[in-house]
């Protein structure tokens, strides 16, 4: 198995990076949609329905598949011999940040359900603040992998 993963290393790495870019684009955009949904569309009417559709398509057609690809290719990289040295700190800091990013992804799905059920209680300002979460996590992940400061 190790030989197969080693021979696929560059393809796996490339597909992992592509999936990360796609996932991050969706994670950056969804909270922004929520800001506009709260501030412009309200809880009823045509605008509300349009936002629900946009949010659903972004989550189901982009964010969810991209996150699955990130995890599949990321795990393939982890199991490729010689790629990760778990005695160092950087893979652990990356792993914690990836788990937090996955939690944020699910948090967005839970907030989407709030809009569907008419139970959203968060403001546009709160969604703007949450929009910074993926940026912070992205910084931790990239610096952990590229700079390996720990």
Is the pLDDT score of 32 beyond 90? yes
Q: Which tens digits make up the pLDDT trace of 3-15?
A: 999 999 999 999 9
Provide, rounded to the nearest whole percent, the portion of the chain with pLDDT above 70. Answer: 100
- pLDDT at 22 (0 to 100): 98
- Whole-angstrom distance, CA of residue 110 vs CA of residue 115: 9
- Whole-angstrom distance, CA of residue 134 vs CA of residue 139: 9
In the chain, at which residue ranges do the beta strands (DSSP E only) sit? none
- Number of Cβ within 10 Å of residue 115's Cβ equals 21
Nearest-CA neighbor of 78 among 102, 106, 98? 98
- Number of Cβ within 10 Å of residue 136's Cβ equals 12
Q: Which tens digits make up the pLDDT trace of 44-87?
A: 889 999 999 999 999 999 999 999 999 999 999 999 999 999 99
Is the pLDDT score of 34 beyond 90? yes
Check if the beta carbon of residue 79 is closer than 8 Å to that of residue 86: no
Q: Provide the token pair at 76.
A: 């393939």
């Amino acid at each position: 198995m190790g030989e197969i993963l080693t021979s696929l290393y560059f393809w796996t790495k490339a597909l992992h990076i592509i999936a990360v870019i796609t996932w991050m684009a969706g994670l950056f955009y969804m909270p922004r949609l929520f800001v506009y949904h709260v501030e412009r569309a309200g809880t009823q009417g045509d605008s509300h329905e349009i936002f629900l559709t946009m949010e659903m398509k972004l989550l189901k057609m982009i964010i969810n598949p991209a996150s699955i690809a990130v995890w599949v290719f990321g795990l393939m990289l982890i199991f490729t011999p010689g790629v990760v040295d778990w005695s160092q700190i950087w893979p652990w800091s990356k792993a914690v940040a990836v788990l937090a990013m996955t939690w944020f992804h699910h948090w967005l799905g839970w907030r989407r359900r709030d809009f569907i059920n008419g139970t959203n209680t968060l403001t546009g300002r709160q969604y703007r603040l949450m929009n910074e979460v993926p940026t912070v996590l992205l910084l931790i992940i990239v610096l952990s992998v590229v700079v390996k400061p720990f």
